[in-house]
Amino acid sequence: MVNDEKIFFSSNQSALFAQTDIEFVITSRQGGFSQSPYDSLNLAYHTGDEKAHVTANRNAICQAFFPDKTLLWIDQIHSDIILDVASSKWRNDGFIGQGDALVCDQKDIACMVMVADCNPVLVYEPKIRTFALIHAGRCGVQKRILSKTIKHILKHPQAKAQNMLIFIGPSIRKCCYEIGKDLAATFPEKYLANNNLDLIKMLQDELSSQQIKPHQIEISPVCSCCQNNLFSYRREGITGRFGLIGALR
């Protein structure tokens, strides 16, 4: 899995997740069918790319890494809406609805969130074999979608925060995420350096507030805006989306 150009990072490379019952991949820009400016492994239909290319890209990833699983995806709207596979229906193409978190406890399903600078986050509760994928950009972080998703999983009587494992994938980091003065004024000073916003620090504080300890958390060191093998909205404007795709083993 690790040596495929389509994969930027996978759970096999993760100190925290390699031995668990969940596997995930962060896709790269390479090995897909899309043409510039979506070249080439764009996984999102909503970017203006040709639909047939996106479908071919998704199929290539699924066949290579998640054969025998149905890929579910959401129409991401920068909300705090959580969709649970256990109580949802989906279309034949895997579309399950509008929202920004997808909770899954079913072995025959793979879930995907798509990003180009927003935070792709995975939450896993191994005791109840339930995971969530979250799309958390600035709006989603401000709406505390990560905490809300953790609380959703904790509704299960056997679930515990102390069991949970968290992965935060590549996203725009404080090196590149300059925001306007008026917007910056709406954030606590501790999350800002000049006018650069540190969403990772906000997510870490959220996790801490949910009793999740640093040893339960893995954060990719990669800034999507600095890394040319990932799509970046800030760097390129019109561009594709890379994916965080996860499934139970």
Binding-site member from 225, 244, 245, 248 for Zn ion (CB under 5 A):
225
Binding-site member from 139, 176, 193, 222 for Zn ion (CB under 5 A):
176
Place of tokens 């990719």: 220
Using the minimum distance from each CB to Zn ion, give the nearer residue, 159 or 176.
176
**Structure tokens that stand for 199 in this block:** 């969403």
State the distance between the two ends of the chain, measured CA to CA, in whole angstroms.
14
Count the site residues for Zn ion by CB under 5 A.
Answer: 5
Binding-site member from 77, 175, 185, 238 for Zn ion (CB under 5 A):
175
Which residue stretch of 19-27, 126-134, 150-158, 167-175 sits at the interface with Zn ion (rule: CB under 5 A)?
167-175
- Is 179 a binding residue for Zn ion by CB under 5 A? The answer is no
Q: Distance (Å, rounded) from C-alpha 175 to C-alpha 182? A: 19
Q: Is the dihedral of CA 21, 135, 146, 5 positive or negative?
A: positive
Q: Distance (Å, rounded) from C-alpha 166 to C-alpha 173? A: 18
Using the minimum distance from each CB to Zn ion, give the nearer residue, 148 or 173.
173
Which residue stretch of 90-98, 122-130, 136-144, 221-229 sits at the interface with Zn ion (rule: CB under 5 A)?
221-229
CB of 4 to Zn ion, least distance (A): 25
CB of 178 to Zn ion, least distance (A): 10
Burial of 188 (0-12, 13-18, 19+ CB in 10 A): exposed
DSSP 178: B
Phi, psi for 169 (deg, rounded to 5): -80, -175
CB of 175 to Zn ion, least distance (A): 4
Which residue stretch of 25-33, 58-66, 86-94, 173-181 sits at the interface with Zn ion (rule: CB under 5 A)?
173-181
Which residue stretch of 50-58, 103-111, 216-224, 235-243 sits at the interface with Zn ion (rule: CB under 5 A)?
216-224
Q: Are strands 109-115 and 242-248 parallel, antiparallel or unpaired?
A: antiparallel
- Is 226 a binding residue for Zn ion by CB under 5 A? The answer is yes
- Is 223 a binding residue for Zn ion by CB under 5 A? The answer is yes
CB of 34 to Zn ion, least distance (A): 24
Yes or no: say if 73 and 88 are a contact pair by the CB < 8 Å rule.
Answer: no
Q: Distance (Å, rounded) from C-alpha 50 to C-alpha 95? A: 17
Tell me which residues touch Zn ion (CB under 5 A). Answer: 175-176, 223, 225-226
